[in-house]
Structures are given as C-alpha cells and as structure tokens.
Chains A and B, each alone.
Chain A
C-alpha cells in the first residue's frame, strides 16, 4: 500500500508544473540572475586607479625624490594612481572636466588641488602628506645627524607591525556568498508548497479528492506519510540540482564540509515542507490562497535574512536579535555561511538545533490539527 501511494504521489508531484516551477525553475533562474548582477557588483567594488595630474614645472624637474615617489605609486605591482604629466592650465581643465580627481603642483612644497571631497581625494591627500612628512624627517635627520642616515634609510623599508592578525577561518570572507546561501534557504522554504499539497490531499474538509481518499479503507496518516516521503524525496532532489548548478555552473563556494552542506539542505527541505503542512492544516483557505500566503511568508523571511538587502541580516541581528533566531530562513542561511567561514561547528550546531526544534513544533502542531477523522463541515 505504502509503495502504491508513494509511486503515484511521485507521478502526481513530478507532473505538477506549478510546484516544479516554484521549487526548481524559479530558484535556478533567480540564482542565474543573482550571479549576473552580483558579478557586476564585484567588478564595481574592485579598486580602480585614481586619475591625477602632476604639473610639470621647474620645481618638479629638479625634485628627483618626488619623481621617484610618483613612479613608485603609479607603476609597480599595486599602482595607486594613474598619473598624467601636464601643464597647470591643462591640469585645471582636466579637473574641471572631472577627468582627474586632483592635481599636484610643487611650489616648492607639495600642493594638492581638488574640486570636491571624497575617498579618492583623501587617498591623494594622504599620499602627499606622507611624502611631505618623510621628506621633512629626512631633511631634518640628515642635517642634524648625518651619521644615522643609513639607519634612517633602512627604517624606511623595514615596516614593523605590533599587532597580530589571527583569522577565524581558512576561508576568505565573501559577503556575496550569503546572497546564494539565502537563495538556497529560500528554495528550501518553497518546499512549503509540497507540504501544502499534502495537507490539501488528506483533509476531507479541504478538497473533494481528500474526502474520497478518507473514505478508502486506509488510515489517513499512512497515506499522509507515504505522500510526504514522496514530497521530501522530490524536493531534496530539486535542491541537489540547485546545489550542483550553483557549485559547478556558477562556481559558488560552499567550503569543504560537503557532507554537512548536504545535511543542512536536507534539514532545510524538511523544515520547509513541514512549515507548509502546518500553515495548510491551520488555515481553511483555498489552495491558491495558501500558496500565496506561503510564498509571501517565505519572501518576507528571505528579505529579513538579507536576500534583497544584505545588511538587513545584520540590522535584525543588532536591533531585534530574537527575530534572527525565530526566522528559519535566516537560521539556514547562517548555517551555510558558518560551514563555509568558520572552522568550528559551534554556530552551525546551534542553527541546526533550532531548525530541528522548528520541525518538531511544525510536526506536532500539524499532527494535532489533522488527526481528527470526522469534520464538523465539508
């Protein structure tokens, strides 16, 4: 009997285009869209050389140390500036046309001319200040104590750091990954449409089909468990397809703990399906309304977990920390990120434990709601 119900349920679910769209096609499409837009964001965030101009005058021609310093910061391994050597008139014009962020004129001191304030202008200013400080120190030391000149030159190339950076992880921090982790978590919760279907199909007061099934000589919980098994199997398979797509097509890094990533996905799938079953058993609305409610709640939870605006996750964590723990989409997102970023499993275990608690609550409530065998009205 279990096999008969299970196999037919697989057929029904696999042929339900609407469910397959929301639980497989839509997340893949969204992941592709994320990848396109986030790769642009990564490009935008990469450092671009700051365009500046140096006025070529007599002071510049005489100042070899400044010329050397400019060569160092304009060429080399990690250049800072894109430098144009020009006349003062031309430099003014370039600045007015916003083709450069500022220009430097030696007069004989270093003068920086900018049009507005900003990060680039601060960097140019910082460079010119440092240059002036060093040249001033060098001149003072050379004039007052020429014997230590060699030590002074050595000290310029020997930077000492008095703090030690201890990384929490061997992984590189990557904020963009959390967009994809919340996407997987959202996909897990789109599994709620499966849970909704299973309840609609077993509660005689919700559909005629369920009424017919309730009349059959089979315990309805037996039918329910066979159907739920089919739902979990299909949904988990869909999530695996999504994971494969993310890892092998979009090159999203999930770290090295593959087994735990799969376990988290499985737990996420069950949480999503259980959530859908609970909402469906709780509400007597029609199937489409329930689907709308489920998708709405999932999107809201995903938004709060940082899907549309990444900082939202941190805003919630800072201002309403309890909500972070009550949002299962956030817990799952955090679990994926913990697996990627942290070497220890402390935070991951907490997230998983809370998700399992959610599953237990959803199942207990659903059982209480669907255990009745007769209805007040149909």
Chain B
C-alpha cells in the first residue's frame, strides 16, 4: 500500500473538514479524489503530507507513519500544488533545478533530470523565460515539472488544471498517464469529473470530508439505479402523452421542456426502443435522439442529492 489513511478527523474550529476519512491507495494506481470545492480534498492531501495538524487518525505512506521529519518518505514524493508555487525571480530551468536540488544532490544527475522534466512538459523553448512571461498553461506545466523532476514514486497533483486552456489541459492529463506508465503512483484531486473519469483507475468521491463511494468508474456507475439519459427533440407532446411516458415500465422519470423530452431510464435493456415505440404509436414526430450514459455527476447526485459543482 502506498498510502493508508485511517479514520482521519480534521476540524477547523467548529467546522469538520475531514470526518473519519479512510483511504487506501495501491502502488501503480491513478487514484482520483473527486468532490466539490470544500469537500476536503486539499485538506486530506495536506494532512497526508504532514503540513496540517489533524485531530485524530493515522496516516502511513510507503508503509511507514508519516511525519514532518520523515525525510526517507518525503524524498520519494512529488507534489504539484493547486496554486502555482515557483520563484518569479528564477527562470524556468532554474526553478526546476532548484526544486530538484532539494531532493537530488548530485549535480550531473540533476542536470539530466531537469532536462528530462523540461522535455516531458514541453518547455524546451522556454527554459530561459521567467514565470511572468509564461501563459497560464505553460505556467501550470512549469509547476508540474518542479514537482516531478526528481522522479518520485508517488506524485500528488492537487487540482493541477484549474484555469488552464483545453490544449494545455489535454497535455497535462496525457502527461499524468505517461508518468503512471513509467511507474509512478498518482493521487489526483479535482472537481472536474470528466478529468477524473478520463485518467483515474480508481476514484474516491468525497463530500463534506467523508468518502461517499470508492471504486473504478464502472463500479461507481453500477452503484446507481439509472442506466442512461435519452433526449428527444420534438414539438408535439401533450401533458397526457408525457404522463403516459412516465408510466412506461423502464422509465425512472420523464420531463418535457423547451421542445426537449428528457427521459431517465432505469437499468435494463432496450430502453430507447421502448421510448421510440411509444412515440411511433402516438404518431409523435421527432428530430434528433441523443442517448448518454450516466456520469460521475449522476452518481454524485444520486448519492448526495446535489450537483457535483454546487
């Protein structure tokens, strides 16, 4: 086990930020911590890194208790903070070299590692640039390079794509998968469910400091009752017809608004056929039909009764 958190409790005054959080992260995983802002993701990470005091619970990293002076553990951890944490007065190269130098004393080895990190994040053309001259996306890449240059076994990325353009975001996500392929265990926190769904092999959903579900994305989606959302563009549904749709066997709920019929179907086969057969039998004309599988947001809604981005 790379990280083992047991019954972690952290209070900020009267506010309970982590409520008996337990978490296990295995070697080789890309483990996602998903939750809305304020759900306790960053607090959990800061406790794991021994930056924050906590009220109770235990944290082990690489099988050993984590503490501020556990340098043998820290040397194998890389961290990419939510906010960019680099020196404005050092160039791209110097920043990466500085942070790498806190882990790697040998100058020649460090030079190679720094160049590898620069190649990895695609900053070859910007090595002599100061951070203020970089765009938001490039700055995020520099932030990542500073955290991974020493080739850690465990990389913790705390919302690394906040305020990043889609192109840089793709590159960052691909890079994280590549780091994992090279052998690093990844802990990835985000409130962007699409990102977590795309790269994480195991996901823990947090709400109010509590883990409400853990598993692969498929396992999480299996936990909920709905199987798909069917959207039909039509302008000819009467209230009586909508009421009939709601009585169909496979339907969990149906709504009609702004010429869109939105049907949430329960688990089962041929749900779309059932809906379309009904439209044919009622001679209702329709244009497009779109079907969507449930998302992690649907999982979150069903488990908590609110949107992930609330």
Contact = CB atoms under 8 A, between A and B. Distances in A.
A204 B45 CA distance: 14
Contacts of A213: 102
Given A211-B85, A217-B71, A373-B69, A8 B94 contact: yes
Nearest to A201: B87
A44 interface: no
A197 B276 CA distance: 68
A209 B50 contact: no
Interface string B89-109: 110001001110111010000
B87 A216 contact: no
Contacts of A12: 87, 89-90
B277 to A, nearest CB: 58
Contacts of B138: none
Contacts of B94: 8, 11
Interface string A221-237: 00000000000000000
B243 interface: no
B146 interface: yes
Interface residues of A, number: 28
B264 interface: no
A378 B51 CA distance: 8
Counting contact residues on chain B (CB < 8 A from A), the size range is 20 to 34
27 contacts: A1-B101, A1-B105, A8-B90, A8-B94, A8-B98, A11-B89, A11-B94, A12-B89, A12-B90, A15-B90, A204-B51, A207-B85, A209-B86, A211-B51, A211-B81, A212-B85, A212-B99, A212-B147, A214-B68, A216-B74, A373-B50, A373-B68, A374-B51, A374-B52, A374-B68, A377-B52, A378-B46
Given A217-B71, A374-B53, A378-B46, A212 B146 contact: yes
A218 interface: yes
Contacts of B81: 208, 211-212
A217 B74 CA distance: 5
B16 to A, nearest CB: 14
A1 B74 CA distance: 16
B79 interface: yes
Interface in A1-49: 1, 4-5, 8, 11-13, 15-16
A284 interface: no
A207 B50 CA distance: 16
Contacts, number: 85
Contacts of A373: 50, 68-69
Contacts of B102: 1, 4-5, 213, 216-218
Nearest to A374: B53
A249 interface: no
Nearest to B77: A215
Given A8-B87, A211-B85, A374-B51, 8 more contacts: A4-B98, A5-B102, A8-B98, A11-B90, A208-B83, A212-B79, A212-B147, A214-B68
Nearest to B53: A374
A93 interface: no
Contacts of A4: 98, 101-102, 105
B51 A216 contact: no
Contacts of B105: 1, 4
A79 B309 CA distance: 91
Interface in B76-135: 77, 79, 81-87, 89-90, 94, 97-99, 101-103, 105
A217 B103 contact: yes
B52 A376 contact: yes
Nearest to A205: B51
A64 interface: no
Contacts of B49: 215
A215 B53 contact: no
B65 to A, nearest CB: 14
Contact of A375 (B52, B74, B98): B52
B79 A215 contact: yes
A4 B74 CA distance: 19
Contacts of A218: 71, 102
Interface string B59-71: 0000000001101
